[in-house]
Each structure stands twice: as structure tokens, then as C-alpha cells.
């Protein structure tokens, strides 16, 4: 196999640079690692050698392979040592002026055919390349930590980057065992852009007093299948990283409402409560373990009221069947009796709006989120409105917990929790495709590998139904009057005519 790049330099000996050096050497390239601090080079060198030794001990690498890898990883004492390199990967501090200065110096040392790349996660590739004599030889090459385990890399073309350079970088990514995805030079590229919907919408839900951090995390793990709830994820990545990314993308898109930051993370960052690494974030940590609040107990209800289900409820037949299996006494009249628990299951609307529009007694009205098939979830989510009586709330909670499935009861919210977050994720992903930042296929690959979502965002939209997602967004915009929820043209058009969200025009 002919390597795309046989001589590679990595500038920056932190965790990212160290990881890239490791996989490049494993691919067979001669790798020079350079940092302005000599001790950092030695520390990174030792850490990579230790990783290879551990892999050998586990039987995942042979002694011969480890010996070969080690022989290909060298330390550079100065940038002049990098003169023969075909590829230079920068993984230093996220400051535009520092990066521009570095690449200007490198261009004077390297051959005209050398490819220069930045591992930036938030800066413009085009802006970094602006001062170069050969911007066509410059691109973004964005890896994710920990590099050996996170198997996706974004290949980003600046305005003047030659297509052949991106193709060569993609080939090299595959040789290193990674999956390349190609993106245009836009704020957040693919992964950080697509990830805006998850955490920012969860923060809005908390800021409206709808539910606490733990409840939202439980709902999104158990209903949708996310591996980590948004606040667990914030604690893992730490707000001194996450909040700045949120703000950067928002401002780079000139205050686009879909990416609006939240005062909650700003305040916590100011107070130093940034996450697991300091022992406290959205959760407190003891010996690295999050201290989770207990779930509210299921109420004891001696006299269960009859249940009436709105004829406009989403998945109404499924809901009636579920109630039957739970042993509820179901009313079948055109309107509920004076003592009935009234159930509604809206898409996007809040319970208050539904009660008013359908002329139901709000004191006896409770909502249930039926976007997702009940059999496919581990948790049911109910919502009250400001007038819901406590006995009706408790009756609904007890009824839906009869078979042992977890139940969360939240305050009134357009779109509950799951509908809001899923619709926001799908909408932002749709707009990435609308802007032609990347192909739908690369979007799905980048998000599933980079964010570990249970489904890619477009596949998620197809799974729950583009028309359903569209209805949620239209109704959220009605409830909140916020342009944040306006549907992307990509989603609106495909949802309206019944096309897959993966469908591209001929």
C-alpha cells in the first residue's frame, strides 16, 4: 500500500497531537512530533510508547508491530527539522493569530508541495489560510479526542483549498483507520454544528422550570436511547469547553436563534462549576461518580378515576390499547364525565393550549408524550398544566406506572422534552444539508461516530416521521413565538411531500 503521506509532522504535543501522532505512526508514516516546550515532546513520546506497550500486553499488537511503530515516532528539536515533511498537522491553542503566524513560518520551511492542515474545532479554515502564499495547499483536519478511539475526522475545505488535497487527506484518514467526512468551511463544521440542538434545547427546558437536570437526562436516555443525557455530557466535556463552543457558533452565525446560548451555562462557568473534572457541575461527584437524586416515588392512589382520551391524541389507538393493558376504566363518550381523568397527547403544543382549544377542564387534564411507540421506550413522560389538580396528576402517574415502567411527570411544555429535543436536532441537521455544508451521508456518519447518537439525525427524523417532526416545530413556534423553531426548508419540503430526509435533488 502506498501511503498518502509518508513523512508527517505534528505540531502540538497535547492529548490531541499525541493521538494523531500515534495513529499516523501506526499507519506506517514517519512522524515528527514538535512542541515549543521540549519536555512536552518527551512526555507525549513516553505516553504513546506506553499505549503501545499496553496494547502488546493485551495481545492487540505484536512485539514486531510495536517495535516498528516506535521506530517511526521521533521528536523534533526545531521547526527546521520538519523541512522534508509532506504533511504538517497543527494541534495547538485555539487562537487565530497564533495559528496564522505558525503557518506563515512553516510555509517558508516546507516544500511548495507540502500540505498544511489545522485541527481547529471552531476557527475558520479560510481565515487561517488568508495570509498564506499557497492557500490551495491548506485544509482543516479535525480529529476528536481520544483520537485512537474516536474514528471520525472532518476534512474541511477552505475557499481556496484544492479538491485533490481533501481527497488525499481523506485517503490518509482511511489508512490511519479513521472514517473521513468532507465539509465546507462553516462554523462548527459538521459535528459541533449538528450537536447544537441537544444541549441548548435541554437548557431552555430547564430555564423554563419544566424539569430538573436529572429528569431531563433520564427522559432522553430512556425514551430516545442517548447514551448520556445532555447534562451528563456537559459535565463530561466541561463547561469551560462547551460554553465557549456554544457562544462561538452562535456569534459566527450572526446570532442565529437556533444556536442561542443560555445564561445557565454562563453563570456556572463564571462560578467555576464546570463539570466532573472539578468534582461539581450539573451533578456533584464523589470519587468520580455522579451523585444522582432519587426518582420521585410512585403515588399510592386508592380510587382510580375513569379515563377519557382526546380524539385528537397522537397514536390514539396505541394509547387506548396501553390503557386497556394497564387496567384503566376507559370512557368512550364524546366528552369526559365530570370525574374523569382527561388525557391528551399533542405534538408540539403544550397541555394548556390543548385544553383551551378542545374545551376541556384543565384541572383534570394531563398530557402524555406519544411521539415514540411505547414499546420502544423505557420511560413514559406525563405533563401537567398550571391548573391540573394534584389528585389527577397522582392518578395519571400511578396508572402509567402499573406495569413497572418508569414514569416522569413534568410541568407544562410545548413538545414535552423528547419532542422538543428530537425536533431541534433533526431541524438543525436538515439545515446543514440545506446549506450544502456536507452530504446527508457524511452528516449521518459524522454524528453517529462523533456524537454517538442512537441514530443519525436524518435517520432519527425519518424514524419518527418527517411530518411529525414538522408538526412539532410548527406548533412549538406557535406556542413560543420563537424563530428558533422555524423549520428548515430541507425538512419542510421533504416532510410536506413525504420524502426521506436523506433524499437529495437530482
Catalytic residue ranges: 121, 142, 154, 192
- Distance of alpha carbon 135 from alpha carbon 406, whole angstroms: 56
Question: For 62, phi and psi rounded to 5 degrees?
Answer: -80, 160
- Distance of alpha carbon 240 from alpha carbon 470, whole angstroms: 34
**Chain position carrying cell 514538535:** 34
Four-CA torsion 363, 369, 371, 375, nearest 10 degrees: -130
Strands, sheet with 406-410, edge to edge from the N-terminal-most edge strand: 307-309, 341-344, 365-368, 379-383, 406-410
- Distance of alpha carbon 192 from alpha carbon 451, whole angstroms: 9
CB neighbours of residue 318 within 10 Å: 15
Three-state secondary structure of 56-112: HHCCCCCHHHHHHHHHCEEECCCHHHHCCCCEEEECCCCCHHHHHHHHHHHHHHCCC
- Distance of alpha carbon 262 from alpha carbon 259, whole angstroms: 10
Question: Which H or E element spans position 199?
Answer: helix 196-207
Amino acid at each position: 500500500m502506498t501511503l498518502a503521506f509518508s513523512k508527517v509532522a505534528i505540531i502540538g504535543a497535547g492529548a490531541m497531537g499525541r493521538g494523531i501522532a500515534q495513529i499516523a505512526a501506526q499507519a506506517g508514516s514517519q512522524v515528527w512530533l514538535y512542541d515549543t516546550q521540549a519536555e512536552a515532546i518527551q512526555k507525549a513520546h513516553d505516553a504513546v510508547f506506553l499505549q503501545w506497550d499496553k496494547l502488546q500486553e493485551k495481545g492487540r499488537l505484536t512485539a514486531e508491530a510495536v517495535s516498528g511503530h516506535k521506530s517511526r515516532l521521533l521528536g523534533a528539536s526545531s521547526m527546521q527539522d520538519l523541512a522534508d515533511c509532506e504533511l504538517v498537522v497543527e494541534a495547538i491553542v485555539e487562537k487565530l493569530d497564533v495559528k496564522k503566524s505558525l503557518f506563515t513560518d512553516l510555509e517558508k520551511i516546507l516544500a511548495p508541495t507540502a500540505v498544511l492542515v489545522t485541527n481547529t474545532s471552531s476557527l475558520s479554515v479560510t481565515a487561517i489560510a488568508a495570509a498564506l502564499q499557497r492557500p490551495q495547499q491548506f485544509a482543516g483536519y479535525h480529529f476528536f479526542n481520544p483520537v485512537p478511539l474516536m474514528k471520525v475526522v472532518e476534512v474541511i475545505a477552505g475557499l481556496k483549498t484544492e479538491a485533490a488535497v481533501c481527497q488525499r487527506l481523506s485517503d490518509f484518514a482511511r489508512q490511519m483507520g479513521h472514517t473521513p467526512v468532507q465539509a465546507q468551511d462553516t462554523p462548527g463544521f459538521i459535528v459541533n454544528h449538528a450537536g447544537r440542538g441537544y444541549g441548548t434545547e435541554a437548557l431552555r427546558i430547564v430555564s423554563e422550570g419544566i424539569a430538573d437536570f436529572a429528569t431531563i437526562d433520564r427522559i432522553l436516555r430512556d425514551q430516545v436511547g442517548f447514551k448520556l443525557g445532555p447534562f451528563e455530557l456537559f459535565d463530561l466535556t466541561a463547561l469551560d469547553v462547551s460554553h465557549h463552543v456554544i457562544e462561538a457558533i452562535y456569534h459566527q452565525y450572526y446570532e442565529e436563534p437556533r444556536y442561542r446560548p443560555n445564561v445557565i451555562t454562563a453563570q456556572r462557568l463564571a462560578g467555576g462549576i464546570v463539570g466532573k473534572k472539578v468534582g461539581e457541575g450539573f451533578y456533584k461527584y464523589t470519587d468520580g461518580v455522579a451523585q444522582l437524586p432519587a426518582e420521585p416515588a410512585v403515588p399510592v392512589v386508592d380510587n382510580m378515576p375513569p379515563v377519557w382520551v382526546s380524539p385528537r391524541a397522537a397514536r390514539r389507538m396505541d394509547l387506548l390499547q396501553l390503557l386497556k393493558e394497564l387496567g384503566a376504566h376507559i370512557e368512550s363518550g364524546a366528552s369526559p364525565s365530570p370525574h374523569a381523568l382527561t388525557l391528551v397527547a399533542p405534538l408540539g403544543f403544550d397541555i394548556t393550549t390543548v385544553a383551551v382549544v378542545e374545551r376541556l377542564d384543565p384541572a383534570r387534564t394531563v398530557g402524555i408524550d406519544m411521539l415514540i411507540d411505547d414499546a420502544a421506550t423505557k420511560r413514559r413522560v406525563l405533563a401537567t398544566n398550571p391548573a391540573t389538580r394534584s389528585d389527577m396528576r397522582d392518578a395519571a402517574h400511578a396508572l402509567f406506572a402499573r406495569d413497572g415502567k418508569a414514569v416522569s411527570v413534568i410541568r407544562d411544555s410545548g413538545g414535552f422534552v423528547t419532542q422538543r429535543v428530537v425536533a431541534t436536532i433533526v431541524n438543525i441537521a436538515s439545515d446543514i444539508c440545506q446549506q450544502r455544508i456536507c452530504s446527508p451521508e457524511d452528516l449521518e456518519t459524522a454524528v453517529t461516530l462523533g456524537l454517538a447518537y442512537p441514530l443519525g439525525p436524518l435517520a432519527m427524523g425519518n424514524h419518527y416521521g418527517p411530518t411529525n417532526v414538522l408538526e412539532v416545530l410548527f406548533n412549538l413556534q406557535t406556542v413560543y413565538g420563537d424563530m428558533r423553531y422555524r423549520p428548515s426548508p430541507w425538512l419542510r419540503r421533504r416532510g410536506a411531500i413525504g420524502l426521506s430526509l436523506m433524499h437529495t435533488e437530482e
